Structure formats: C-alpha cells, structure tokens
Structure 1
Amino acid sequence: MGGESKEQDHHTGERKRFLYVVVCAAGIAGQVGRLIAAAQEDGWDVGVVATPQGLGFIDQAAVEARTGYPIRSAWRKPGDPRPLPPPDAIAVAPATFNTINKWAAGMSDTLAVGILCEAYGMGIPIAALPCLNTAQAAHPAYRESLDRLRSMGVRIGSCEPEFRWEEALELLDPPARP
C-alpha cells in the first residue's frame, strides 16, 4: 500500500492524512461525494476503493475528479504502480451486510475486503457505517460479525434511518475531550 500523497498541507508543508473510503453496493452509495467533501474540508486527502458491485452505484468520473485519484476496485497486477498512497485511516461507507460478514470472517475475496483484512494487522483505524435493512440486521451472523469487528477495534456507526456520512469522520477523529 506504498506511495506518497500528492497533496501537502499549505500551512505546515506536511503530507496530508490519507483516508480510504471503501464503498459497498447500496443505494446510498451514489452520495459518497458528501463524505469525500467533508473529509477534504477536514484536511484529509481521499481515495476511494469500491467493491466490484459497489462500483456500479457511484459516478466514477465525478468521484475521480473530486479526489484526483482513480477508484480502485480490482487487484493490481504484479509490477503495476500503487495508485493510492497508504491510508492513515479507512471509512467503510456504506458498509453492507455482505461486506461486514465477509470482513469479520476474514474472507478476502475482493480488493476492498482484502484491504480491510490487512488494515487490522497494520493497526490502521477503521470506521464502518452499516447500511442494511432490518431483516438483514436481525440475522445472527450480522450481530456476531459486528461483535468481532468491534473486538478488532473497528468503530461501528449507528444504523439510523437517516444515513450520516460525517459520522465516519467523527468516529475516526473524535473531538478532544476537555
């Protein structure tokens, strides 16, 4: 996951923090620009990694124009350059039933889930905003997966009727306590 961020903070000259936004296949995924904009306003440089199915839910050209990086959704070939710098943190938004369960089980069958599985071993902070229906949320495998992810240090957002993109940033960078 090597490389360098192409943007530096204009005030300090240091490399900006780099956030991976992992996008899964959910209807709300088309609004991922909200999270990207909020992260950029908060001083993050952002790259998007989409599940293969999630790619169909987002405007690829708009996301790439906003971030300045290509969307990753497939493994790169040996010898190909790494298109994104290494992440300082990861936000999984929206996090679907399928991705949450595969990730918790360590089933690294897509680039997105592979990155999430490796991030645990690398100590990279991760926030996940679940987006699923109540029938899926009632499944015992889902509850067990959330418990496992929490035990791995993953910060799980609320599964509210109104999806709050900014919650991912709040979970990753909570305000300082007085």
Structure 2
Amino acid sequence: MAVGKSLQGYLLLDSGQLSGSFFARTVILICRHDEDGAFGLVLNRPTGTRVGQVIVADLPDALREQPLYLGGPVEPTTVCYLHSDACLPNADVMPNLSLGHSLDQLVEIGESFSPQKKLKIFAGYSGWAPGQLESELRRKAWITHPASLDIVFAEDTDTLWARVLRKKGWRYRLLSQIPDDPSLN
C-alpha cells in the first residue's frame, strides 16, 4: 500500500516494532483516513467485560451480553461500534460495514431480528493526527492488509494478529511465530 493513499477499509498490523506499547500485536481496522488524520478500532483487545456491565442505558438483552472491546487508548469512555447486515446500502467503512456512535441507533440494531446481523462494540478508539499515520508507515511500524468481514468479526481474537500475518504469505510467517517475550525462545 502506497503511503499517501487512504487506508480506509484496511487493517494495520503491528510489524513487530511496537512491543511494550499498547499497540503490540494489534490488528486495527482503519475506519476513516483522510487529510484530517485517521480513526481506527483495535479488533483484538477484548476487555473481558460485557456491554451491559459498562453501559447503564436500557439495552436489549442481546446487546447487554455482547463482549466489549478496547478500540484504542483514546477516549476510553466513548462507545462506538461496527455493524454489518445482509445489505447495508449506506455502508461507510467498507462494503457492507458501517461505523456507529449513536446509542439510539445501537439499540435499534440490537432490537432488529436479522439473522445476518453482526455487531462489535468498542470502548475508545485509535486516532492519528494529519500525517502521523503516514510517518509511522514510512518507519515500517505497521503492516497493511485488506480487511474482510470475517476478520472484523472474528471471535477468536487471541490469535488474530498471527492468523492475519500468515495470510500475507511466507515472508510474514516467521514474524507470526515469534513469542510475546523473545527471551523465552
């Protein structure tokens, strides 16, 4: 992916340079990327809590039981979500995937009876100022990969980083196998 091109709808994967930081071994979906900067959500940081334990609004049971993910270190009290359905004509992240911030709209989605509906809810987000993400890409802090709904809504998030790296081919297989603490190798 060329630096300077929008990465909306792409994944950012830790290239192995971010160990010790919040972003170590993360898989981030870039939801917006333009001249104003970038906005993304970490797909593989479950908080271990359910949405109903954090949001005190009157929520449908299906929403209350949803796992809550940590979308990033910015504004961790802000809730946003990704949703997909059989057909989302106004999808704004990538085909058939939208980003939402409205609690009312989240409740409406939670109350819908579509069997194809998928939803992932986040506290906080990851953000970059204008030019910041491009600078990090030039320093090779991130590896890019096209996003898919299967990756976005993957339930096994513990191994997501390694699985996506392996999809990129043999050059990334070794990186995907490095232990969290290389001194233990």
Q: Give the TM bin, normalised by the shorter chain.
A: under 0.3
Which structure's relative contact order is higher, taking Cα pairs within 8 Å and 6+ residues apart? Answer: 2
1 or 2, which has the higher strand percentage?
2
1 or 2, which has the higher helix percentage?
1
What's the TM-score, normalizing by structure 2?
0.24
Asked which structure has the greater CA Rg, the reply is 2
